[in-house]
Amino acid sequence: MNLTADSIIIYVEIAVYLLIVLGIGIYFSRKKLNSSEYFLGGDKLPGWVLAFSERATAESAYMFLGAVGFIYLAGLSGIWLLSGMFFGVIFSWLFLSRRFINERKKYDVYTLPDYFAVKFPEHATIIRLLSAIIMGAFSLFYIAGQFSGTGKTLYSISGIDITWGTIIVAIIVIAYACMGGFMSVVWTDAVQSALMVLAFIIVPIAAFMEIQQSDLSISQSLASMGNGADQWFGGLSGLALGAMLLTNFSWFFGFLGGQPQLSSRFMAIKSEKELKTAKWVAFFWTIVVYIGAFLVGILGSVLYKQDTITDSEMILPYMVSELLPPWIAGIIFAAILAAIMSTASSQLLVVTTSISEDIIHKTFGIKAKESTIVKISRITVIIGGILGIIISLLSDSFVGGVVGFAWAGIGNTFSVVVLLTFFWKKTSGIGVIATIITGFFSAIIWTLSPLEAVVSARAGTFFVCLIVGVVFSLVFPDKKAVQQAAS
């Protein structure tokens, strides 16, 4: 690896960023955190910070690498992927966030599994245990996807071996998540979220200026790709068009409350005033980043033909290296790492709360001092992080594929449980259990079957779970509901 003045600048900026997030973790590790603060912030976090955190956590490596790479290949029809995600974000903040706040305060819970268990007390133990195990298991794949993204990004920047790049950044993520829990993760997310916005403003502008200077035609370049890239519906019609739209729009369903790393941000908001601020921050952030991501993918396909880039998910890092001076490129590369690290750290907390709070504390009823619970949680973060590294290094999957699989297994499964619990009074404990089990097997079987090539497991899992949840709730109503109906 040859060091030049330009590369040194980039390395120094990335190193400074990594030291900043590590410093935030160290700062909160010096505070005496109780379990409420470690798991959910203890009502001490402002709404705008939680909004930044929710947005940075949601978009992750998928937005910078997976989504941009998909648009780079698909062209204009890639807008439908972002549309599904956009409407999911808007729906969750408008119709679910306030309900999460109220339900968390009403039932005094920190996690989704605990909330489901409290809502259906007749089947509390099995619901809590199933939810925690499945969320924790799929979160490990989510973490692995993020760690994989860090290795690929560092390799594209500097040629650092993917294995070592993955391990180095993963250790930093594990360290600050372990030390400060939810508090440090959310505050580091705020820094990371700001960098992400900056990246998706700077890169499209630089790409457009390069297109103008090179006298390239955007419309002609898209038409020359030959795969319907210059058409909003990708040149498709009939069933093929419907399948394409449903597959891309299926990301919408995962935003409907079922992602524990996102719903925890809603639950942590302390007041109506803070919620109003958080909503506007989230809306503005989403609009800027999604427009920027779309433009990066489209303008990238104009500047660099598809045979130029071996791995389409690396188009954004490639553009940064080619178009920007090193001192700006270093900031943008830090933003890419920020997106990846924010989601990885949040998913580590999902694993932690699933094991230490939902399984050890609540399911098995093991009581301990606040300090002991926090220690157990920190150990769990370390173990979960190590497992994530191992899965990442053993998997050859693209970031988009791994994240899509985990999205179906967690988001599109538990979104159904959240919607039924929030909005349908006939939902029963058996219905919830059946939904969770169905979602687990559906995500795996559908992803591995030929059906995945037709319609994504994200859409399939959501609708299969919805049908199962409704049917089983009607056939096996809770005893309390039956008694009320009879009286």
Quick one: tokens of 103? 């339900």
Rounded CA gap, 1 and 366, in Å? 52
Q: Please list, residue by residue across 125-138, b when 16 or more beta carbons sit within 10 angstroms of its beta carbon and e when fewer do.
A: ebbbbbbbbbbbeb
Quick one: tokens of 296? 């990066």
State the angle between helix axes of 112-119 and 124-158 in degrees (0 to 180), rounded to the nearest 10: 160
So what's the pLDDT on residue 395?
A: 66
Rounded CA gap, 485 and 113, in Å? 28
Quick one: tokens of 465? 């779970």
So what's the pLDDT on residue 486?
A: 45
As to burial, measured by CB atoms within 10 angstroms (0-12 exposed, 13-18 middle, 19+ buried), residue 403 is: buried
Quick one: tokens of 487? 């009286």
Rounded CA gap, 169 and 147, in Å? 8
Instruction: Give the side-chain half-sphere CA count within 13 A for 438.
Output: 25
Rounded CA gap, 154 and 166, in Å? 8
Distance (Å) of CA 406 to CA 111, 136, 150, 251: 18, 11, 18, 12
Rounded CA gap, 16 and 22, in Å? 10
Of 45, 202, 58, 224, the closest CA to residue 142 belongs to 58
Question: What is the torsional sign of CA 29, 35, 39, 43?
Answer: negative
3-class SS of residue 307 = coil
Rounded CA gap, 174 and 385, in Å? 6
10-residue stretch averages of pLDDT, the chain, 487 residues long: 72 84 78 75 89 86 82 93 93 95 91 93 93 86 78 74 82 81 82 86 95 93 89 90 88 88 91 94 95 96 84 86 89 79 78 81 75 80 86 64 72 92 95 95 88 84 95 91 49
DSSP 284-346: HHHHHHHHHHHHHHHHHHHHS-TTT-SSGGGHHHHHHHHHS-HHHHHHHHHHHHHHHHHHHHH
Quick one: tokens of 84? 């599904």
CA–centroid distance for 39 within its chain = 18
Residue 102 is classified by DSSP as: H
Compute and round to an integer the Cα radius of gyration of the chain.
22
Show the 3-state SS of 243-258.
HHHHHHHCHHHHCCCC
Rounded CA gap, 202 and 170, in Å? 27
Rounded CA gap, 352 and 384, in Å? 8
3-class SS of residue 46 = coil
For the chain, domains (ranges, CATH) are 5-398 (1.20.1730.10)
3-class SS of residue 49 = helix
Rounded CA gap, 67 and 126, in Å? 36
Instruction: Give the side-chain half-sphere CA count within 13 A for 251.
Output: 26
Dihedrals φ, ψ of 117, to 5°?
Answer: -65, -40
In the chain, % helix, strand, coil (3-state, to 5) comes to 85, 0, 15
- 418 Cβ neighbours under 8 A, 6+ residues apart: 96, 112, 256, 257, 258, 263
CB 13 within 8 A of CB 19: no
Residue 161 region by backbone torsions, left for phi larger than 0, else alpha for psi between -120 and 50, else beta:
beta
